[in-house]
Structure 1
Amino acid sequence: MNTLEKKAFMKRFPVLNAPVQVGLVGLCLVFATPLCCALFPQKSSMKVSSLEPELQEEIRKSSPHTTTVYFNKGL
């Protein structure tokens, strides 16, 4: 935005500063959100020993041989 504000067009029409800024942010979000969702895996794993004590106990009661749990991070 700093570079655009120095251009003659933006100096001539300063009222367009906010709409251009909102448009550029929207454009970035349109492409960045799907890209980041594609780059970072949605499912993740965690060792049972790093969970809360209550949850560790519950998992060990229901499945004593489980060492890793998998979860969906969601959006």
Structure 2
Amino acid sequence: MNTLEKKAFLKRFPWMSAPIQVGLVGFCLVFATPLCCALFPQKSSMSVTSLEAELQAQIREAHPELRRVYFNKGL
């Protein structure tokens, strides 16, 4: 916006600064959010040894051979 405000158009129509800024932010949100959701995987895995001690004990009691757990990161 600093660069755009120095241009002749916004010097001539300073009231257009707010609508242009809202439009640019909206444009970025509309395309950046789905793009980032697509780039970063929703499902992830973690070693059982990286979990809390209580949770490790529960998992080892139920499934002693399990080495990795998988989880949904959500949004």
What's the TM-score, normalizing by structure 2? 0.93
Which position in structure 1 is the counterpart of 2:31? Answer: 31
Runs in 1 of length 4+ with deviation above 4 angstroms?
none
Percent of paired sites with the same residue: 76
Q: Distance in 1 between matches of 2:22 and 2:55?
A: 44
* Secondary structure, aligned partner of 2:45: strand
* Secondary structure, aligned partner of 1:69: strand
Amino acid of the residue matched to residue 48 of structure 1?
V
* Secondary structure, aligned partner of 2:66: coil
Gaps of 5+ in 1: none
In the TM superposition, what is the alpha-carbon distance from 1:18 to its structure 2 partner?
1.6
Q: Distance in 2 between matches of 1:23 and 1:48?
A: 46
Which position in structure 2 is the counterpart of 1:52? Answer: 52
Residue correspondences, number: 75
What's the TM-score, normalizing by structure 1? 0.93
Amino acid of the residue matched to residue 32 of structure 1?
A
In the TM superposition, what is the alpha-carbon distance from 1:44 to its structure 2 partner?
0.3
Amino acid of the residue matched to residue 12 of structure 1?
R
Gaps of 5+ in 2: none
Q: Distance in 2 between matches of 1:19 and 1:55?
A: 51
- CA RMSD across the alignment: 0.8
Amino acid of the residue matched to residue 17 of structure 1?
S
Amino acid of the residue matched to residue 21 of structure 2?
Q
